[in-house]
Structure 1
Amino acid sequence: MPPTSRPHSPRHGYADTRHGQIHYAECGSGRPVVLLHQTPRSWDEYRDVLPLLGDEFRAIAMDTLGFGASARPEQPFSIELFADGVLDLCAALALDEPVLVGHHTGAVVALETAARAPDLVHALVLSGMPYVDAARRKAVAEDRPPIDHVIPAADGSHLRALWANRAPYYPPERPDLLERLVRDALGVLDRAEEGHLAVNRYRMEDRIGLVKAPTLALCGALDTFSLPDLPKIIEAIPGARSAVLPGTGVPAVDHRPDLFAAQLRAFLQTL
């Protein structure tokens, strides 16, 4: 039986998995909603979403393997490895037909989990997910500079570099959002870029057709990285719906948790 907690007061816990312990935070009770963060974030990306969902659902924000307070496997990071962690967490917590919600890297992980375990996943929400096919893998390999890779410097200038790399995608009036990202990134600084590399190695075109769960594809209107791929995702998943969150971009989850949670609720109420 799931533990009870006040919706506004997250409980923290650890689950044993084949790759080591996974840390998670949760609010509320009811149908489980598992929330998966972008690279190089942690459960903290959903800090303000948890209480908004916790009065109706058992909202669980986990730290992906290798990030936050979860175990860091020595093997190379991959979407398949991250999905192992999601499935093991669901088994450890005895989650019955969870809804999987992922943002950017987390969306790719949610997709792979739903493709691998179609009888487990009740519904799927893919937020800011890029469509990773051969053309995108080639373009990224040839043209895209690293997103979060910085070389530690004795004078701390790498902190400024980490901030500057992400600043164009974050609202200038909300430096607190960048502070949260930098804090998470510092905890995995030596491997922060691996999450992005894992996404761009993933053969999504071979896996997306295996998704059977009702699906909502979300994206921030200002997310120029992923918004162009929204029609491809809708076309690839039969019956998938889409929604665009106005006035926000890459940091949609923590920038506009109210809009994000409202879209989630509205979608789940139709199932």
Structure 2
Amino acid sequence: MSDPRTTPSNGRVAHTSLNGSVEAERYSEGRWMMVQQPIANLTDKPRGARASQLVFGERFLVLDNEDGFAFGQAERDGYVGYILQGALTGAEPATHWVISPATHLYPKANIKVSPDVCLYFGSQVKVTGESGAFKRIHTGHFMPTQHLMPIKARFADPVGIADLFLGTPYLWGGTSRWGIDCSGLVQACLLACGIDCPRDSDQQEAVLGEDIPGDAALKRGDLIFWKGHVGMMASDRMLLHANAHHMATAYEPLKDAAARIEANEFGAITSRKRLALG
């Protein structure tokens, strides 16, 4: 049975690839759009609950429009849902992505002028020029060169990326420094290191890494799963995770987290996974 979270169909419209396997009133190839605001909520229905978020410059395949919302599928992970139409614009080919937790868009190449808006880690931009220590992007704004990296460049250490999010407020469905949840943190870290990663913790547990034997010591970068939660080991004993207990991304001894989570939240650990990291 297909997963509705990643099946581009809402009963009224479906992607043409599903013609013959999913019933719909019509089928569409869709049109690629991109997010034109710092963050856009991806909801389960128009004005519905937040399921995930996309950040500036990320692409979204629009299949239908309904009541001011675009229905479609995120390029990042195939997640399906609704985004406000006003949050989207025509897609631009990205040349760089934001590698700092947050950055500013300046109207001039001058750090003393007031920035117009803030962008977050993972945002994608098209660089059109340079001015001193700034890059000019497709919106006409200027960004600090230090906060950008070529679109295909990647990091090697997911835990180092997770450190960038320390103290970030916990937000169900969040994917950025503005607010992030447990699986959003893992996804952001792995994608930044060139590792494909689905959105939710159950999806991640199903496809990521190899099982670690129960008697084997843990190491940096290992993933720990519960039913409904995931964290990343910063060392053999210390867990780094976005969680509602701290309402933030925080370090916590694994033994303490495991005892608390088993007693009060998601039960016992369901698996320990090791990624192939370089």
Which band: TM-score by shorter chain?
under 0.3
* Bigger RCO (CA 8 Å, 6+ sep): 1
TM-score of the superposition, structure 2-length normalised? 0.25
Find the structure with the greater CA-based Rg: 2
Per residue, is there more strand in 1 or in 2? 2
TM-score where L is the length of structure 1 = 0.26
